[in-house]
Structure 1
């Protein structure tokens, strides 16, 4: 009997297309290793296909490499989430990495709503995200990251996390961000960095440019307190399109996730032209 591998290499490719009747279907699904989706769901009706990305192992360890590739075809609308937090464990001298590639075609819509990443002690992790949106496409997504166990006083004493995101419009990068977080680094406690907060998140939303009133309404939802803080940036693009970014720092991932959900529910009717219907998994 052969021994189980001590590292996992997994990939998942999903493609969503719109049929003549307007139904979005999961038309292609291919996976290797422990990364998959099970059943497409339609809690909003046939126009929006919901899917949950599953990673059956208990978490991601040193040496693991995951690759996720999502394509949303012309006129299709997909919502993707995860059933729970993704846990990144001790590296044992080997880095772990996740590559995410998303492509949203003209007239397509996407909700990218994964639950949080939790980086435990001595994790050495890298997350690389590339989002390609064609003019006329629209998408809302987020990334939530928690550094260590928040119930501990110091919560994250050793570790390294690399975060890199790029969003392209018609092949041209319009938002690039890359940074390294070290457990012992000054950025964690700097007032211009994480200010001591263990949870950081970014919500990005692209579509028709928000009006001044819509932007003011969104800004009015953002807290600034001792336990939860958020800031807003709006960037105008060509053809009356815009990119909205919301940065969040918090003490607890649950509070951050609840805030992002409220912001998503506020933005979705404006950018994706449909009311917000939370995934069924979130209520279980």
Structure 2
């Protein structure tokens, strides 16, 4: 682990997936505290499940964590985490986590980390970039908790920069500042909610109209049966991406909703069962 010029620690993890016959095989290199656990194949050889771990358990001001992911043609990887990512209170420097994934034709990625928690007083950046070649597909989600809603601890100071980027297709870049009461309290913003969840399905080639409508219809059917129906929605901002968003006061119902939509989408897109990672039940 090396010291970053910002004064914090720099961790880097490189994940490479490729198809070897019927099996998706993985190779990884790490520098610093980021690791992955043993490769798992609960669905058979075609899908490699990986659990990404960060032993220090949190990111403090000045730390930079970088995750680079390359998926070769026709490989399929599912990546998750065993616990929340925690952005702790900062003395002045910014904590950064950035993910950059590149998918070759026919590759599939499921990027499904557990929630990120922005502690009161943190200064954080959470950047994610996914480049999909024609024929590549992915599902991903991002769950953000401001403060510790379950413990009644708010987000009164600090900021979080959130960036989701599918180059040329979809870009969201927003600063969530604890002092921005209009954003956090307005009905047009967070409306007093402390948790936001985003789930997307994306492709390197445009979805057909029936595919896009099936994704939207299946997501909305799940939402209609959810206690969060009043604060959830689904849309297609581009022909290559479908996005779901939900607001809540706690993480658990957001996680439940996104899991159920992801399960429905797996059937719609790939005719595959949910195959939830075992770590989610621990």
Q: TM-score of the superposition, structure 1-length normalised?
A: 0.90
Which has the larger share of helix? 2
Unmatched 5+ residue regions in structure 1? none
Cα offset, 1:154, TM superposition: 6.1
Deviates more, 1:40-49 or 1:5-14: 5-14
In structure 2, list runs of 5 or more residues that go unmatched. none
In angstroms, what is the RMSD of aligned CA positions? 2.0
Q: Deviations over 1:181-235 (max 9, x none)?
A: 1112020111111111000111010244425355323212225867962111124
Matches within 5 A, 1:232-247: 232-237=234-239, 242-247=240-245
Quote the Cα distance in structure 2 between the aligned partners of 1:236 and 1:158.
35
Matched, 1:230 2:232: yes
* Partner of residue 198, structure 1: 194
Name 2:179's counterpart in structure 1.
184
Cα 1:214–1:29 change in 2 (3 A) is closer
Shift of 1:9: 0.8
Distance 1:227 1:245 in 2: 15
| CA pair 18-123 structure 1, distance change in 2 beyond 3 A | same
Q: How many residues align?
A: 271
Q: How far does the alpha carbon of each residue in 1:101-120 deviate from its partner, in whole angstroms, 9 at most, with x for none?
A: 01111111111100000011
Once superposed, which parts of structure 1, at least 4 consecutive aligned residues long, lie more than 6 Å away?
none
Distance 2:87 2:212 in 1: 40
Taking the aligned partners of 1:108 and 1:90, their CA distance within structure 2 comes to 38
Check whether the contact 2:110–2:140 (CA below 8 A) recurs between aligned residues: yes
Separation in 2 of the partners of 1:217 and 1:177?
24
**1:9 corresponding residue in structure 2:** 10
Native 8 Å contact 2:216 2:235 kept in 1: no
TM-score by structure 2 length?
0.91
For residues 129 and 166 of structure 1, the distance between their equivalents in structure 2, rounded to whole angstroms, comes to 6
Tell whether 2:132 aligns with 1:130. Answer: no
